[in-house]
Chains A and B, each alone.
Chain A
Amino acid sequence: MAEAVKTGAEVAHEVGFPPFNAETFASQLFWLALTFAFLYWFVSKIALPRIGSVIDERRQRIDTNLAEAAGLKAKAEEALAAYETGLASAKVNARAIAEETRARLAGESEARRKVLEQELSSRIADAEKAIADTKTQALGHVGEIASDAASAIVERLLGSAPTAVDVDKAVKSALDR
């Protein structure tokens, strides 16, 4: 141990502070140039292009995927808009159909009501006419009945039947009063 220490100290003493020992400079520079040149070549020609291409590829993939997603989203929105306009027009159509049907049905029932009313009023008129006819007819018979009754009364009172002409005349004058 002591010997090793001595030799170490001796060497240090011999060459001084190792980093300032100019004898080793050429050798260190030689190996540094060799190794660093290789490292630079390896890094610039192999490692960095490889890593860079992977990163670029990933970025491109992400970009295209994002663009695709945006396109799909736009398409979906378009479809939604189309659906909504379709729905709105369908609603309008349905309302129009309902309106039309209601109007048609209302017209039909109105027409039927009119026809019915006409029929009823004509029937009423017929009936009124029949009533009037019957009434006049009945009224026509009233004179006859009155004449018969009058002649019968006179016959009972006087014992002899008056002439039909006289009875009619008397009934007429009584009716006219």
Chain B
Amino acid sequence: MASPTEQFEIRHFSDPFFYIGGSPITFTNSAMFMVLTVAVIAGFLLLATSSRSIVPGRWQNAGELLYEFVADTLRQSAGKDGLVFFPLVFSLFTFILVANLLGLLPYSFTVTSHIIVTAALSLLVILTVIGYGVAKNGVKFLNVFVPSGVPGWLLPLIVAIEVVSFFSRPVSLSVRLFANLLAGHIALKIFAGFVAALLAGGVAAVLSPLPLVFTVAIVALEVLVAVLQAYVFAVLTSLYLHDALHPGH
């Protein structure tokens, strides 16, 4: 029986092209699925925008639905001026969504099950928030840490809490996505492993449908999680971007 964590291994498909900080840069299964993810998104969007007619066809309708969905999410969370971040939120949502869903295919690799990937994406969000917030609001951006309407004597405590919560955002953002995907795939692998183990176990084979049913149920759950986590990431990104646009709550 293969280890449940084997599916997360990075496999090198090439010799190192070059080294960054002593680490080899190779084409890996992870890289392949990142490329595949972007190819799927780009292919879908090209298909959706090929005709660009007033009365949309199927693909165009799907593309417009996706567009409106992400735009509405961003508008509700970050306000109307939040639409300057539309390409970023759209890219993040589609990238995570497609990477999650591709990861559910048998024998595939889940890009988002690696903490370094989710951490990089959430750092991108937080750095965008800080960079844009400071560039747009200057020193006033520090109002993010000072909620209005708090009595003076309570302020130091509140500010401390706000600072901690602000800087724990990228951690929670990345760990939430990573842990959800990782746990789901491990659970899938373990239950599927039970099926194989029971089948090989003689009389115990009669029990094998049980974990199989569980596996099917978990696959359904994982599809839900894959979509939900992409949505959660997009919503939280929009909420954090709201701070960059309107510091001081």
Q: Which residues of chain B from 38 to 85 have any CB-CB distance to chain A below 8 Å in the complex?
A: 38, 41-42, 45-46, 48-49, 52-54, 56, 60, 63-64, 67-68
Give chain B's interface secondary structure class. helix
Please report the C-alpha to C-alpha distance between residue A34 and residue B95 in the assembled complex, in whole angstroms: 13
B24 at the interface (CB under 8 A from A): yes
Verify A30–B2 contact, CB threshold 8 A.
no
For A11, what are the chain B residues with a Cβ–Cβ distance below 8 Å?
A: 6, 9
Which of B113-121, B131-139, B226-234, B238-246 lies at the binding interface? B113-121
B54 and A26 within 8 A (CB): no
Segment of A51-59, A85-93, A107-115 in the binding face:
A51-59
Q: Are B28 and A31 in contact (CB under 8 A)?
A: yes
- Tell me the count of chain A residues lying within 8 A, CB to CB, of chain B: 44
Contact B182 A19 (CB under 8 A): yes
B31 and A27 form a contact (CB under 8 A): yes
Q: Judging by beta carbons under 8 Å apart, are B67 and A52 in contact? A: yes
Within the complex, which residue of A5, A19, A38 is in contact with B1, where a contact is CB–CB below 8 Å?
A: A5
Q: Are A40 and B87 in contact (CB under 8 A)?
A: yes
Which secondary structure dominates where chain A touches chain B? helix
Is B148 among interface residues, defined by CB-CB distance under 8 A? no
Indicate if the CB atoms of B30 and A29 lie closer than 8 Å: no
Nearest Cβ in chain B — how far from A46, in angstroms? 8
Instruction: Check if B34 sits within 8 Å of A32, measured CB to CB.
Output: yes
* Cβ A24 vs Cβ B34 within 8 A: no
Contacts beyond the supplied A24-B23, A31-B28: 4 A-B pairs with Cβ under 8 Å: A27-B23, A27-B31, A28-B10, A47-B49
* Interface residue ranges, A against B (CB under 8 Å): 4-5, 8-9, 11-12, 15, 17-21, 23-36, 38-40, 42-44, 46-48, 50-55, 57-58, 61
